[in-house]
Amino acid sequence: MNYWLMKSEPDVFSIDNLKTKKKSGWDGVRNYQARNFMRDDMKLGDVVLFYHSSCEVPGVAGLAKVSKTSHPDPSQFDSKSEYYDPKATKEAPRWFMVEVEFVEKFDHVITLTEIKNTKGLDKMPLVQKGSRLSINPVTEQEFKIIKNLV
């Protein structure tokens, strides 16, 4: 089993939204590296750290798990969607997503500041300067350390 960190802007889609919906396709990813993680590496039951970005208190807000593995992101075919990609076809989809299922919302957000100040988490891409990737692998060690911060 693998661990991941997935970023979402809470104004767009938050841990509360996932809690309400129970399950959601992780659509809208338009970065090849992030896509490849979803398409090639994310397995059923993998644990996801749900990270809130571009908001007042950036940090890990809760947990989700992969409930369906890679399949084409339908928003790429939808000309009315902001995620529409005219170069994608049903025969040759360009963008893939997984579906995630709500697991838990933390009592308090594990803030980016806290993560930066915690020993053993300094290798996370999240805290590297200039790292913007919206999906990142997390080691078991890092996951355990973060869980201990909850």
Partner DNA sequence: GCCAACGTTGGC
Q: How far is the CB of 148 from DNA (least distance, A)?
A: 21
**Subset of 77-106 contacting DNA (CB under 7 A):** none
117, 111 Cβ separation under 8 angstroms: no
Measure the CA–CA gap between 103 and 55, rounded to whole angstroms.
22
39 lies in the site for DNA, by CB under 7 A: no
Which residue in the set 13, 25, 36, 53 belongs to the binding site for DNA (CB under 7 A)? 53
Per CB under 7 A, does 113 bind DNA? yes
d(CA 94, CA 96): 7
User: Residue 100 to residues 43, 64, 121, 123, 127: CA-CA distances in angstroms?
Assistant: 11, 6, 24, 25, 24
Question: Quick check: 58 binds DNA (CB under 7 A)?
Answer: yes
Is the CB of residue 124 less than 8 Å from the CB of residue 145?
no
10 part of the interface to DNA, by CB under 7 A: no
Is 117 a binding residue for DNA by CB under 7 A? The answer is: no
Q: In the stretch 14-33, what mask flags binding to DNA with x, by CB under 7 A?
A: ----------------xxxx
Question: Do 101 and 67 meet the contact criterion of CB atoms below 8 Å apart?
Answer: yes
Binding site for DNA (CB under 7 A): 7, 9, 30-33, 53-55, 58, 112-113, 129-134
